[in-house]
């Protein structure tokens, strides 16, 4: 799908049935915040994320519903690195919507003239928000902080390593595992649970 010429999705298909969804940027900010809420169990996080995303009924096929949510979250792109496509290197988060809220607000207002606090409802589609997020200039404080968190210090001088180590500590995120990895793991766990339950029913019959 091409964001320049195609209409952006406001509903999804799951098992040949259509479902209206919350497509605005705030819904996905809430989903991310929910996924990293340490007060919630993994089951509660998944349930809350699906309840935020689907406007009405949630599909009965939970793994497929999670996969659809992941597809929408990734703006229709394939996963670069998730529990479905394991790699030797863990991809860490470099931003947090709760911790970096003021930096997001300032960056969008400065670069695009967009007051994120004043945008009503679903007026700003998540895919548009994500495109603008990815297009932010490196001069913004948000982007500098993201750089501190993600930089590889291999090969740097001792002084440089100390500087970036201090910056990493100063701007550290409590939970660094990316949201799509967490949701992909939730999908895998649900599929395993469904499989075990089906096997148990088969043995008991």
Q: What is the pLDDT of residues 56-114, one digit of tens each?
A: 899 999 999 999 999 999 999 987 654 445 444 556 789 999 999 999 999 999 999 99
Q: Given the structure tokens 């395993």, which residue do they identify?
A: 192
- Distance, in Å, from the CA atom of 201 to the CA atom of 205, rounded to the nearest integer, reads 6
pTM of the model: 0.80
Measured over the CA atoms of residue 153, residue 106, residue 23 and residue 56, the dihedral's sign is positive
- Distance, in Å, from the CA atom of 108 to the CA atom of 137, rounded to the nearest integer, reads 10
Residue-range domain boundaries for the chain? 11-88+177-204, 101-170
* Nearest-5° Cα angle at 149, 143 to 151: 90
Give me the helices (H) in 36-176, please: 42-53, 62-73, 101-112, 126-134, 141-150, 158-170
C-alpha 75: how far from chain center: 10
C-alpha 72: how far from chain center: 10
Task: Render pLDDT for 113-158 as a digit per residue (tens, 0 to 9).
Answer: 999 999 988 899 999 999 999 999 999 999 999 999 999 999 999 9
């Amino acid at each position: 799908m091409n964001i320049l010429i195609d209409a952006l999705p406001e509903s999804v298909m799951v098992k040949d049935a259509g479902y209206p969804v919350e497509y605005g940027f705030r819904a996905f900010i809430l989903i991310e915040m929910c996924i990293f809420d340490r007060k919630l169990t993994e089951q509660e996080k998944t349930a809350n994320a699906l309840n935020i995303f689907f406007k009405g009924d949630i599909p009965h096929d939970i793994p497929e519903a999670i996969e659809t949510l992941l597809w929408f979250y990734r703006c229709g792109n394939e996963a670069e690195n998730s529990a479905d496509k394991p790699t030797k290197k863990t991809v860490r988060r470099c931003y947090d919507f709760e911790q970096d809220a003021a930096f997001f607000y300032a960056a969008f207002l400065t670069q695009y003239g967009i007051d994120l606090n004043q945008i009503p409802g679903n007026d700003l589609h998540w895919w548009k928000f994500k495109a603008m997020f990815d297009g932010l200039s490196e001069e913004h404080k948000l982007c500098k902080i993201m750089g501190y968190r993600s930089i590889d210090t291999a090969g740097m001088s001792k002084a440089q390593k100390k500087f970036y180590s201090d910056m990493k500590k100063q701007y550290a995120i409590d939970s660094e595992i990316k949201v799509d990895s967490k949701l992909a793991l939730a999908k895998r766990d649900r599929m395993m649970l469904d499989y075990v339950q089906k096997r148990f029913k088969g043995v008991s019959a």
